[in-house]
Amino acid sequence: MTAITDMPDLPRAARRPQIGNPVLRWLRTNLFSSIPNGILTIVLLAVLAKGVIGFVQWGIANAVWLTPANDSSACKAVRGLGACWAIIPEKYRFILFGTYPFDEQWRPALAVLLFIALYFLSTRRALWRRELAFLWIGALALISVLMWGGVFGLSFVSQDRWGGLPVTLILATFGLAFGFPLGILVALGRRSKLPAIRSLSVLYVELIRGVPLVSLLFMASVMFPLFMPSGFNIDKLLRAQIAIILFAGAYLAEVIRGGLQAVPRGQYEAADALGLSYWRKHRLVVLPQAIRHVIPPLVNTFIAFFKDTSLVLIIGIFDLLTTAKTAIIDPAWQQFSVEVYIFVAAIYFVFCFAMSRYSRSLEARGR
Amino acid sequence: MTSDDPRPPPRRSFFGALGPNELKGLFWQVLVVGIVVAVVVFLWSNTVTNLSARRITTGFAFLGREASMPIADSLLAYSPRDSYLWAFVVGVANTLRVAVIGIVLATILGTLIGISRLSANWLLSRLAAVYVETLRDIPLLLQLLFWYVLMQGLPAARAAWRPVEGVFLSNRGLILPAIPIGAAQLWVLGTAVLGFVAFLVVRRWLVTQQMRDGKPRPAWPFALGLIVVLPLAVSLLLGVSWTIEWPQLRGFNFVGGLTLAPEYFALLVALVTYTSAFIAEIVRSGIQSVPRGQWDAASALGLRRSFMLRQIILPQALRVIVPPMTSQYLNLTKNSSLAVAIGYQDVVSVANTTLNQTGQAIEVISLIMAVFLTISLGISFFMNWYNARIALAER
């Protein structure tokens, strides 16, 4: 509790005379403003140095970067002393694309690039127009063609051979693409004056949010076949996708409800005065304002959701994390799972960090 | 609305009397409820057909049957001969063991990191920021697997790593010195809890007295007497021993002390570090929400720093902190279900095994839902009570 007693924005720190060498002055105000602070800095520097030196020794100096194919003896020699990054070039195609036919892996790679291009375009505010929706539909169709094949001379690849990063991106993107409109409907339902619709919406949101996603996924993988007429069986990936959409819908509904509450009453009344119908009122007047209010929490929900798709590992769907976990079952490389997890963590981090930066920039612009 | 109006209201037909908006509302409700009912009936009839085709009897009778599943690490006594019901209770206890301790540790760690992010020390605040950003942007399941792999990579019991005397870290988990708690010790601890309750009553009475005549009455002598001296006296009277049991390496394993199994320890570490990153942000925003004028005013009054923080800043920050904190606690509890990925048997893991063994999908899933809804409601209830207590009393 002592650290807080000298917050940077307290007036005293700001009024210190601005003299001397700027570097020294910066050090003085930011690292050595008082004796306890100086001691803290030195301790932290020592710990940091130890950590960084340790990591550099393990991760760079003693690391093995490349080995002959399928030979982990060089890695085993430095085990405990250095990292075995050689496992990444050895396994990266499996981690990224799973058991997708080796020669056809340019197709999921292209699909991933398409996804990234779509995300990038969608962040540009100038492009937030109707055309963007058509672009999405077109690109998603193209991605399905690439993944499935069977037309235009591409060989057919069934869904159970998909894996890795494209599966993660598909689960997240379709989860959001369908969860978002569902969330809007449920949020409107929760604020509706009609008691039956309101209570159904509340029931849906509270039931889904009250249980862990893991149990929803179990339900999708185990109970779904029970629910369906016999002989009717849908793919495991699609079942997980449905669970994820339902899950996303409930969480997004709560965020959007917050936005709806922030729209001033006058806006509703003005729309009513213009004689707009319920749906036109919400589509033209209320929802655009409501969603603009909650863009930062929406992006945060997207991030949480992107990470949560990794839970499909538990029901055995080959997303990025599952392929990583499977890649290290290979006895020759079993001991080097830390390196693989760091590699996959970096991929997740890049996506989530980009989203969080974007959310930050939106917030800054909104202010 | 008195009827001064001389004209009688125009007569309308039965449906006309509802007005166009009510009619539309009725139509939509009937439509939506009709669709939902139709879907539920469809799913229900399929399920009934499927269940009878697979010869699965519905109902909770299976709970009395022998579970014959091993539960390696449990708080309550359990053997595979016990019933499914007891296995389930053991699973719930395991979930609570992770959730409760996780919530306490994550709150402490998160608060420290949130405060560090506001520190005037540039290095400390940067490090805290890196901690928060990194942990928040990597899936919890990945972090959990990472910690579990690290735990497994630790040396064997013989070569256990010992950071402090009596503490061992090996691939058998974390072994700590412990005080064995028996019936006698429980009596003393019970006295301490009763003493604490009594102290709360006394303090409340002291405050009402002070409200009446304005004389400050110190509460600490009562605290000392009721919470420390009283249990100590009971302990001495009953002759309860409080010897610390030091773990020792015998052969290939440890004897004595408290063992945190690798699965439990990895789950706890992953949940605590991940949630602490979110709590840190909540604490930071809470403290930043207190206007600077409050700091200035408190300094101008010449208050001591600790008093100022405790009596002026924190009470105001807590109003911003408590509601989002509740959802973090709920998240941590729900996330403990990821235990299934590393084989720690929490309630979801036990339920999943039960489901695979018996095929009683509907009953098992409804039990999971009931357990989590109960826990969630419990946490929300407590936090709402706490929130109401600290809320700004506006007139």
Q: A230 to chain B: which residues are within 8 Å by CB?
A: 46, 49-50, 53
> 3-state DSSP helix/strand/coil percent for chain B, to nearest 5?
70, 5, 25
A188 touches B: beta carbon within 8 Å: no
Nearest alpha carbon to residue A226 among B347, B351, B42 = B42
Q: Please tell me the distance from the alpha carbon of residue A240 to that of residue A317, in angstroms, as a whole number.
A: 8
Determine contact, residues A2/A36, Cβ cutoff 8 Å: yes
Of the two residues B277 and A128, the one the predictor is more confident about is B277
DSSP code of B120?
S
Per-residue pLDDT reduced to its tens digit, A167-215: 999 999 999 989 999 999 999 998 888 888 999 999 999 888 888 888 8
For residue A256, what are the CA distances in angstroms to A130, A287, B205? 21, 9, 46
Interchain contact, A214 vs B119, CB within 8 Å: no
A349 touches B: beta carbon within 8 Å: yes
For residue A147, what are the CA distances in angstroms to A75, A97, B61? 35, 11, 47
A337 touches B: beta carbon within 8 Å: yes
Determine contact, residues A74/A64, Cβ cutoff 8 Å: yes
Q: What pTM did the predictor assign? A: 0.85
Q: Please tell me the distance from the alpha carbon of residue A133 to that of residue A35, in angstroms, as a whole number.
A: 59
- What's the pLDDT at A175? 92
Reported as a pLDDT band with limits 50, 70 and 90, residue A366 is low
- What's the pLDDT at A9? 47
User: Is pLDDT above 50 for A2?
Assistant: no
Q: At what angle do helices A320-327 and A165-190 cross, to 10 degrees?
A: 150
C-alpha distance from B186 to closest chain A C-alpha (Å): 33
Q: How many CB atoms lie within 10 A of CB A196?
A: 17
Residue A290, amino acid: A
Closest chain A CA to residue B155: A80
Interchain contact, B341 vs A341, CB within 8 Å: no
Helix (H, G, I), strand (E, B) or coil at A150: coil
Comparing CB atoms, the residue among B123, B143, B376 nearest residue A45 is: B123
Comparing CB atoms, the residue among B49, B292, B355 nearest residue A222 is: B355
User: Is pLDDT above 70 for A268?
Assistant: yes
Q: At what angle do helices A165-190 and A295-308 cross, to 10 degrees?
A: 130
Per-residue pLDDT reduced to its tens digit, A21-41: 788 888 887 788 778 888 888
Reported as a pLDDT band with limits 50, 70 and 90, residue A270 is very high
Query: Can you tell me the mean pLDDT for A343-362?
Result: 90
Determine contact, residues B136/A352, Cβ cutoff 8 Å: yes
Determine contact, residues A63/A85, Cβ cutoff 8 Å: yes
Interchain contact, A229 vs B46, CB within 8 Å: yes
| Sign of the torsion formed by the C-alpha atoms of A195, A196, A197 and A203 | positive
Comparing CB atoms, the residue among A194, A321, A325 nearest residue B28 is: A194
Reported as a pLDDT band with limits 50, 70 and 90, residue A8 is very low
Interchain contact, A214 vs B296, CB within 8 Å: no
Q: B53 to chain A: which residues are within 8 Å by CB?
A: 230
Q: Which ipTM value was assigned to this complex? A: 0.87
Determine contact, residues A236/A317, Cβ cutoff 8 Å: yes
Strands B168-170 and B253-255 turn out to be: unpaired
C-alpha distance from B319 to closest chain A C-alpha (Å): 18
Closest chain B CA to residue A186: B32
Q: Please tell me the distance from the alpha carbon of residue A121 to that of residue A132, in angstroms, as a whole number.
A: 8
C-alpha distance from B395 to closest chain A C-alpha (Å): 24
Q: Please tell me the distance from the alpha carbon of residue A232 to that of residue A248, in angstroms, as a whole number.
A: 26
Reported as a pLDDT band with limits 50, 70 and 90, residue A11 is very low
Nearest alpha carbon to residue A315 among B88, B337, B294, B120 = B337
Closest chain A CA to residue B330: A210
- What's the pLDDT at A247? 93
Interchain contact, A230 vs B49, CB within 8 Å: yes
Q: Please tell me the distance from the alpha carbon of residue A345 to that of residue B133, in angstroms, as a whole number.
A: 13
Query: Can you tell me the mean pLDDT for A308-317?
Result: 90
Residue B344, amino acid: Y
Comparing CB atoms, the residue among A3, A311, A348 nearest residue B115 is: A3
A267 touches B: beta carbon within 8 Å: no
Q: Please tell me the distance from the alpha carbon of residue A79 to that of residue A74, in angstroms, as a whole number.
A: 9
Q: B372 to chain A: which residues are within 8 Å by CB?
A: 210-212, 215
Contacts of B70 (CB under 8 A, 6+ apart): B80
User: Is pLDDT above 80 for A134?
Assistant: yes
Contacts of B168 (CB under 8 A, 6+ apart): B157, B160, B161, B162, B174, B175, B247, B249, B254
> What are the tokens at B53?
């085709």
Q: Please tell me the distance from the alpha carbon of residue B266 to that of residue B257, in angstroms, as a whole number.
A: 19
φ, ψ of residue B332 in degrees (nearest 5): -60, -45
Under 8 Å CB pairs connecting chains A and B tally to: 177
For residue B265, what are the CA distances in angstroms to A318, B102, B249, B333, B347? 27, 11, 20, 16, 17
Closest chain B CA to residue A334: B149
Reported as a pLDDT band with limits 50, 70 and 90, residue A10 is very low
Interchain contact, B145 vs A325, CB within 8 Å: yes
Interchain contact, B118 vs A7, CB within 8 Å: yes
A348 touches B: beta carbon within 8 Å: yes
Comparing CB atoms, the residue among B136, B287, B340 nearest residue A314 is: B340
Q: Please tell me the distance from the alpha carbon of residue A73 to that of residue B22, in angstroms, as a whole number.
A: 77
**Which parts of chain B register pLDDT below 50?**
1-3
Interchain contact, B376 vs A210, CB within 8 Å: yes
DSSP code of B225?
I
Determine contact, residues B90/B76, Cβ cutoff 8 Å: yes
- What's the pLDDT at B4? 56
C-alpha distance from A25 to closest chain B C-alpha (Å): 13
- What's the pLDDT at A1? 40
User: Is pLDDT above 80 for A15?
Assistant: no
Per-residue pLDDT reduced to its tens digit, A210-232: 888 888 888 888 878 888 887 77
If you write DSSP's letter for every residue of A285-312 in order, what string do you get?
IIHHHHHHHTHHHHHHHHHHHHHHGGGG
Determine contact, residues B267/B349, Cβ cutoff 8 Å: no
- Average pLDDT of chain A is 85
φ, ψ of residue B376 in degrees (nearest 5): -60, -45
Interchain contact, B334 vs A212, CB within 8 Å: yes
